[in-house]
C-alpha cells in the first residue's frame, strides 16, 4: 500500500481559527475529488483501504482521482479547538467548505463525491441538503455509511458512555484491545486488520517521546455531545429529514445489518424519499462498517466509479 501525503488548511472560528489536517491520496491535480469524512471518535486514516482501492481503479483512467480524508477538528493531526462548544456538526460542515475551497484553489474540482461514515454522513447531509452553499462543484454522489436523519437514542447513549475517556496505554496492541472492547460492532476483522486500523488512533502522551500512549482525539468533544437530550435529538431529527429531502446527489445508504444507530425502518424510508437512496446491508456488522472488507469496498467503488 502506498502512503498518503499529510496537508493542512486554515479554518476560521470564533477563537481566531484552527488548522485542520487532511490526508491526500491519488493524483494531486485530478479534477475528480472524493471527500471521505470519518465518524465521531475516528480520524482520516480510517479510509486507507478504501482510498487505495479507489486510486487503483481510477488510476486506469487518464483523469485519475484525488481522495481527500480530513481529520475533523479535535481529531488526528488537526488542532484541538479553544472553544469546545465548536465541536458540533454545523461547525464541521463550515470547515469542509473551507477545505473544498482550498483544494479547488490548488487544482480545480470538476467532479465531487462524498463518503461519510456516521458523523461524516451527518456533515454530508448538512452540506448536500442546502442549495446555494459555496461548493466548487455540486456533490454528484453521496455515500451515507450507517447514518441517517433519525438516530436511535439507545445508540447515542451507548456512544456517550465511552466518549472522552481517552485512557493511557503502554503499546498500540494494548490500545487496540481496549478499542475492540467498545468497537466489536464494527464486525469481523483479522487481528492484522484491526491493528492497522487502530495504530493511527493513538498518540504519545508526551509528544516526541516513545512513552505511554493516549487516544488521538480531544476529550472535550464529549462536552457538546453530552448536552444532547432525547427531546433535542427528536427535534434535530425533523431538521435532518428536511436536509435529506433537499439532497440532489445520487445517494447510497450502507447499513450494518446489526446497527443500533440506523434502524431498518429509517434506512427504508431513506430509499423512498428525498434522493431515494440505493440501500445495501452487510450481515454480521453493526455500527459502523469500516470499509475494509472486500464486499464493503466493492460496493463503494461500484457506486462512485461505475457507470451512471
Q: What φ, ψ does residue 2 adopt, rounded to 5°?
A: -75, 170
pTM (predicted TM-score): 0.96
Domain 5-153+230-305: assigned CATH number: 3.40.50.1820
What the block records as the C-alpha cell of 305 is 466509479
Q: How far is it, in rounded angstroms, from Cα 244 to Cα 184?
A: 29
**Three-state DSSP class for residue 91:** helix
What does the pLDDT read at residue 203?
92
What does the pLDDT average to over 287-291?
96
* Chain segment 225-277, per-residue pLDDT in tens: 888 888 888 888 999 999 999 999 999 999 999 999 999 999 999 999 999 99
**Three-state DSSP class for residue 37:** strand
Q: Percent of the chain, pLDDT > 90?
A: 81
Q: How far is it, in rounded angstroms, from Cα 126 to Cα 21?
A: 21
Res. 307 pLDDT band, cuts 50 70 90: low
* Chain segment 164-220, per-residue pLDDT in tens: 877 889 999 999 999 999 888 999 999 999 999 999 999 998 887 777 999 999 999
Alpha-carbon distances of 33 from 25, 138, 210, rounded to whole Å: 10, 11, 36
Contacts of 212 by beta carbon, 8 Å cutoff, 6+ apart:
168, 169, 170, 204, 205
What does the pLDDT average to over 42-51?
98
Contact 266, 149 (CB under 8 A): yes
What does the pLDDT read at residue 211?
75
What does the pLDDT read at residue 58?
85
What the block records as the C-alpha cell of 261 is 444507530
Res. 308 pLDDT band, cuts 50 70 90: low
What does the pLDDT average to over 39-63?
92
User: In this predicted structure, which of 148-157, 191-200, 203-212, 291-300 has the lowest mean pLDDT?
Assistant: 203-212
| More confidently predicted of 210 and 18 | 18
What does the pLDDT average to over 87-107?
97
What does the pLDDT read at residue 160?
85
What does the pLDDT read at residue 1?
63
What does the pLDDT read at residue 216?
94
What the block records as the C-alpha cell of 6 is 499529510
Amino acid at each position: 500500500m502506498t502512503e498518503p501525503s499529510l496537508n493542512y488548511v486554515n479554518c476560521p472560528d470564533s477563537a481566531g481559527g484552527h488548522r485542520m489536517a487532511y490526508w491526500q491520496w491519488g493524483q494531486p491535480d485530478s479534477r475528480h475529488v472524493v471527500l471521505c469524512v470519518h465518524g465521531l471518535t475516528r480520524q482520516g486514516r480510517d479510509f486507507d483501504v478504501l482510498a487505495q482501492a479507489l486510486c487503483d481503479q481510477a488510476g486506469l483512467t487518464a483523469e485519475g482521482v484525488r481522495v481527500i480524508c480530513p481529520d475533523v477538528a479535535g481529531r488526528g493531526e488537526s488542532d484541538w479547538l479553544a472553544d469546545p462548544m465548536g465541536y458540533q456538526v454545523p461547525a464541521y460542515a463550515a470547515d469542509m467548505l473551507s477545505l473544498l475551497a482550498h483544494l479547488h484553489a490548488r487544482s480545480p474540482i470538476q467532479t465531487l463525491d462524498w463518503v461519510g461514515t456516521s458523523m461524516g454522513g451527518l456533515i454530508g447531509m448538512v452540506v448536500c441538503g442546502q442549495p446555494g452553499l459555496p461548493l466548487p462543484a455540486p456533490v454528484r454522489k453521496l455515500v451515507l455509511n450507517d447514518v441517517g436523519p433519525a438516530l436511535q437514542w439507545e445508540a447515542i447513549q451507548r456512544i456517550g458512555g465511552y466518549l472522552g475517556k481517552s485512557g493511557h496505554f503502554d503499546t498500540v496492541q494494548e490500545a487496540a484491545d481496549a478499542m475492540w472492547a467498545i468497537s466489536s460492532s464494527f464486525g469481523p476483522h483479522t487481528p492484522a486488520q484491526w491493528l492497522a486500523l487502530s495504530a493511527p488512533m493513538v498518540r504519545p502522551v508526551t509528544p516526541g517521546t516513545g512513552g505511554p500512549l493516549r487516544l488521538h482525539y480531544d476529550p472535550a468533544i464529549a462536552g457538546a455531545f453530552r448536552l444532547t437530550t432525547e427531546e433535542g435529538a427528536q427535534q434535530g431529527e425533523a431538521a435532518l429529514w428536511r436536509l435529506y429531502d433537499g439532497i440532489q446527489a445520487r445517494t447510497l445508504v450502507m447499513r450494518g445489518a446489526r446497527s443500533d444507530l440506523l434502524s431498518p425502518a429509517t434506512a427504508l424510508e431513506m430509499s423512498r424519499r428525498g434522493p431515494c437512496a440505493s440501500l445495501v446491508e452487510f450481515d454480521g456488522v453493526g455500527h459502523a462498517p469500516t470499509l475494509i472488507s472486500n464486499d464493503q469496498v466493492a460496493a463503494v467503488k461500484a457506486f462512485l466509479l461505475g457507470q451512471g
